[in-house]
Structure 1
Amino acid sequence: MNEATAGCDIGLIGAGVMGKSLTLNLADHGYRVAVFDRDPNRLDALHDQDAAERGDRPTRLHGCSTYPQLLAQLPTPRIILLSIPAGKPVDEVCQRLIAAGIGTEDIVVDTGNSLWSDSQAREQHYRSHFIFFSTAVSGGEVGARFGPSLMPSGCPAAWSRLQPIWEAIAAKVDPESGQPIESRVPGKPVTGGEPCAAYIGPGGSGHYVKMVHNGIEYADMQMICEAYQIMRDALGMQPAAIAAVFAQWNRGVLNSYLIEISAEILATTDADSGLPLVDIILDKAGQKGTGLWTAVSSLQLGIPAPSIAEAVAARSLSALKPERMIASGVLAGPQAAPPPDHQKHAHIEALHDALYCAKLCVYAQGFQLMRCAAREQGWTLNFAAIASIWRAGCIIRARFLHAIREAFACDPDLQNLLLAPYFAKQLAARQHNWRQAVAHAALSGIPIAALGSALSYYDAYRTAVLPANLLQAQRDFFGAHRFERIDRDEGTLYHCEWSLPGRPLTH
């Protein structure tokens, strides 16, 4: 990539899939970008795509082969984006920038999937060398290219410089309907609408919010897959018919990116075999860790997020393919025949409501987890704003995020999303179908880790008296862990000498 510009506005390190897309997005909005990648082939590929997209217009990019050359292309104070793998590569690049002479007022922005606590540590560690800022990016390659959801966090002064850039390149939604405003034409970006970029808070908070986003994503994907398997194995439907159901669902309250792409996937035929493509894809799921981080954080904070944890476990279980093949010939299941055709519509309607209700519970788990983390870290999170920036550009974008935004806008102190009047009514109206779908899946031997755990979460959360009283007695019996009494002052602990006659209570 040999063409040069008179000077650039922004630097970017890492011209991989996401870095290339972010670079071209920035260029579409009039920013001149200096790009460094240690692989010259990536720079050449970026140059070729830029040349094809811009036609006769002047070049918008400048390829750099060294870190000093990158710094020299940028006015001070500089803005440099990192689009590189999380972990050690981030620190390695930061050290190289220090060696190249980066300034204390320069801003280095990590746009990767870093662990939130690493972002916190880096902000402190590099503060004497430059301003370390983080911006979590969601939306994959297409989102990065034409409008991602952006979750920035860190130094407020740095945000004031980055805000116009981020709001320009972010996804946009119609402020009234909350529906995405999209354009996937290079050089013709969306300029109106409400940007899906909002300052989250102090360092690390943006990556924490993105981590929870990904945890919700894990559960959402798993629940859609469970609905697919129920239709496939319990209702005897073929992929094309299931695709039609998903396409119909996508026109209603379940409208979302994940439902949309699931419909397209199931309607796709493999060119080589002529079979539905999904039927020749190996059923072993991968993961990159962010769902696991969410589950771990929920356990550490003592905030239940069971559907997210079950979704992580489901991926791990899918990886046990050889064992599952053996178990399928050893372990018995129910002998359930698909219902007659005239009954299938009722089952599909029940499954629709089950998926909707379970999705609400997953979002409730995610927002409750963010609320607790904010309290622990001293963050002030705007949950209405978070719901707003997830309405477009990101993987979990969905129509009902607009209603979630409204719920938190009406009550910023809402303790749990399920308590919002609108959603409480929705759950009450649809819970019978939800239970029917879960029961039908269980009787048919279909695993429903996420759909089932969401129902258990709902039932546990709405139950005034749980069996934890027996659990506390068990703990006191074998470990003298003590317990509180409902007829005494809260906080006073008691122990029972369980094996003695009369079992007297003592403080």
Structure 2
Amino acid sequence: MSNSDFGLIGLAVMGQNLVLNVESRGFKVSVYNRTTSIMEEFVSAHPDKQLVGESTLEGFVQSLAKPRKIMIMVKAGGPVDAVIESLIPLLDKDDIIIDGGNSLYTDTERRDAWCSKEGLRFIGAGVSGGEEGARKGPSIMPGGPASTWEVMKPIFESISAKVDGVPCVTHIGPGGAGHFVKMVHNGIEYGDMQLICEAYNIFKAAGFSNEELADIFAEWNAGDLESFLIEITANIFKQKDPETGKDIVDLIVDKAGQKGTGRWTVMESVEQAVPFSTIAGSVEARIISSMRGQRKNASGILQGPDNWGFELSGMSKEDLVSKVRNALYASKIVSYAQGLDLIAKVGREKNWSLDLGAIARIWRGGCIIRAKFLNRITEAFEADADLTNLMLAPFFTEILNSGQKDWREVVALAATNGIPVPSFGGSLSYYDAYRAERLPANLLQAQRDFFGAHTYERIDKPEGEFFHTEDWPELIS
């Protein structure tokens, strides 16, 4: 009996679907789960598949062909370390451990060094696409040595999503590059979702029905805004609750959850001094949504417009739809510009030699943020690998320039009517700050020099010369 080509530890839904995906491509797969009954139920449910269930970790390892290829699909953090620690004594030199969860990239770099010291190879592979993507073809972002990628390439390319025949997987870079790019991908996902929610909030406040919203998002999905998230949003508005017959979206509590990757991305942006207003606004929106009790209390105390209803004066519904569409598109461009800026900066600092065009290319299919305009992002970086900001690519510059007036009107309309739009507004502020020839930081530098002698540069002196004013006026009090 031949040994298995691939092994997977952790049979939650994502793990099970990945196993079925790998097996369907002609590979024999061994599986192990800490709770043996889950493994047994999974294997017995698929008697026609090339699956080998093992009740012990030792048996699991011995069932694999060398070099062993073992993917871990367990909760990020301590559980990943525990599995690696259990595996190391059982493995041979050059066996490969793959962490397919949402691990923090610095943990991945630590594990890479750990496994390397033991003579093993380690891959931190971000996997995006949810349960359906895992089964039918995800976007995969593997990091680690290029030589290890070559070993895994046949399996990864076979199980990944395909767009125009191109696999949605590529070698991202060494060390923690794969998990880092997946982390930022998730941050962009936060931004995309929040922008859609802000468009929805404006429409609902203007009196649009869920039926109208389903049609609007379906129409958007047929054009330049085509994406997985726009598509599922259109379908959400059509879903009825079988118990009450009401629209399910109206029955869901307005309290969002998060697993941490969005926060990690924002924290990294602060650490790297990369502006991140769109995605930071989306994380903040989730946090404040969780403060539901406080919000309900404050709604009866703090004054302002009724942010759940306003009259359209001098504007038709069709006009509002067009303006919000342009604001959404422009804000989406900013979100990706900020995310790619963070990827580029960390890539340079780490000497990862990241290819932003290739990264955008593998996001076109399988993953949650898959969207039509990722083709345009790929084209932008293929045309100019040194592009300093996505907004400066001619295609996106034209969209921003033509849509900025509507964008401003939407943000102003929201502010006037008390509708929170942290990501629309943060995107517009970033856009205006980035294009500003002069910002008020001259005053800020004067303040810093006044209270802390931090010095400043002068516009009438050579760049790089610093000055300090010794005789700032004394305070009156």
TM-score class, shorter:
over 0.9
1:441 aligns with 2:378: no
Residue 238 (structure 2) aligned to one of 267, 277, 284: 267
1:308-358 deviation line (CA, Å, top 9, x unaligned): 111111100001100000111111112563226971110111000000000
CA offset at residue 218 of structure 1?
0.4
Instruction: Please name the residue that 2:310 is paired with.
Output: 337
Matched, 1:252 2:223: yes
Q: 1:462 to 1:342 in 2, by over 3 A?
A: closer
Check 1:43–1:241 CA distance in 2 against 1; reply closer, same or farther (3 A cut): same
Cross-structure match for 1:24: 20
After superposition, the Cα gap between the structure-2 partners of 1:343 and 1:43, relative to the gap in structure 1 and judged at 3 Å, is same
> Which residue of 37, 49, 57 maps to 2:33?
37
Q: TM-score, normalised by structure 1?
A: 0.91
1:354-377 alpha-carbon deviations (Å, 9 max, x no partner) = 000000000000011111101111
Match of 1:387, as an amino acid?
A: A
Separation in structure 1 between the aligned mates of residue 77 and residue 244 of structure 2, nearest angstrom: 41
AA partner of residue 383 (structure 2): C
**Aligned pair partner of 1:9 in 5, 8, 11:** 5
1:387–1:402 CA contact under 8 A, matched in 2? yes
Quick one: which amino acid aligns to residue 64 of structure 2?
L
Superposed displacement of residue 498, structure 1 = 4.3
User: 2: CA distance between counterparts of 1:164 and 1:75?
Assistant: 15
Matched, 1:278 2:249: yes
Q: Which residue of 2 aligns with 1:398?
A: 371
Is the Cα–Cα contact under 8 Å of residues 104 and 128 in structure 1 kept in the other structure?
no
Which structure 2 residue ranges, 5 or more long, are not aligned? none
Amino acid of the residue matched to residue 153 of structure 1? G
Q: Secondary structure at the match of 1:126?
A: helix
Q: Which residue number corresponds to residue 203 of structure 2?
A: 231
In structure 2, C-alpha distance between the alignment counterparts of 1:110 and 1:429, rounded to whole Å: 44
Compute the displacement of 1:89 (Å).
Answer: 0.8
1:169-196 alpha-carbon deviations (Å, 9 max, x no partner)? 000001xxxxxxxxxxxxxxxxxx1100
Matches of 1:8 and 1:260 in 2, distance apart? 38
Alpha-carbon distance in structure 2 between the residues aligned to 1:500 and 1:439: 39
CA drift at 1:416: 0.3
Instruction: Tell me the equivalent position of 1:199.
Output: 171
Take 2:310 and 2:88, find their aligned partners in 1: how far apart are those partners? 66
CA distance in 1, matches of 2:472, 2:447: 13
Which residue pairs with 1:459 in the alignment?
Answer: 432
Q: Which stretch of the first structure deviates more once superposed, 36-45 or 393-402? A: 36-45
Structure 1 contact 138–394 (Cα < 8 Å) conserved: yes
Question: Could you say which residue in structure 2 is the equivalent of 1:134?
Answer: 124
* 1:159 counterpart = 2:149: yes
| Partner in structure 2 of residue 106 of structure 1 | 95
Distance change >3 Å, CA 469–CA 341, structure 1 → 2:
closer
Instruction: Read off the aligned partner of 1:112 and give its amino acid letter.
Output: G
2:352 to 379, 395, 400: 379
Q: Distance in 1 between matches of 2:131 and 2:149?
A: 24
Residue 313 (structure 1) aligned to one of 267, 284, 295: 284
Alpha-carbon separation, structure 1, partners of 2:472 and 2:380:
52
Contact 1:354/1:430, CA 8 A, preserved across alignment: yes
- 2:423 aligned partner, one-letter code: A
Distance 1:213 1:459 in 2: 24
**1:413 alignment partner in structure 2:** 386
- Corresponding residue pairs, total: 471
* Distance in 2, Cα, partners of 1:42 & 1:239: 40
- Structure 1 residues 49 and 227, CA gap change in structure 2 (3 angstroms): farther
Shift, 1:497, TM fit: 2.5
**1:95-146 superposed Cα distances (whole Å, 9 cap, x missing partner):** 11123x2112100011000000111111111213211111110001100110
- CA gap 1:497/1:418 in 2 versus in 1, 3 angstroms: same
Distance of 2:348 and 2:208 partners within structure 1: 47
Instruction: Check the 8 A contact 1:79/1:107 in 2, yes or no.
Output: yes
**Which residue does 2:135 correspond to in 1?**
145
Structure 2 counterpart of 1:115: 104
Amino acid at match of 2:107: D
Give aligned-pair identity as a percent.
48
The answer for unaligned runs of 5 or more in structure 1 is 175-192, 502-507
SS in 2 for 1:316: helix
The 2-side partners of 1:378 and 1:244 are apart by 46
Cα distance between partner residues in 2 of 1:80 and 1:341:
62
Whether the 8 Å contact between 1:477 and 1:498 is mirrored in structure 2 is no
In 1, distance between residues paired with 2:469 and 2:299? 48
Deviations 1:252-293 (A, max 9, x none): 111000011111111111111121101111111010110001
1:88 to 64, 78, 85: 78
Give, in whole Å, the separation in 2 of the partners of 1:445 and 1:45: 53
Distance 1:360 1:488, change over 3 A: same
AA aligned to 1:120 is: E
Task: Supply the distance in 2 between the matched residues of 1:253 and 1:374 (Cα, whole angstroms).
Answer: 30
Amino acid at match of 2:287: S
**1:240 shift after superposition:** 2.0
**What is the CA RMSD across the aligned residues, in angstroms?**
1.4
Which amino acid letter does the alignment assign opposite residue 223 of structure 1?
A: L
2:116 match: secondary structure: coil
Q: Distance in 2 between the 1:21 and 1:500 partners? A: 69
* TM-score normalised to structure 2 length: 0.96
CA distance in 2, matches of 1:437, 1:500: 44
Mapped to 2, the partners of 1:40 and 1:156 lie a distance apart of 35
1:219 aligns with 2:191: yes
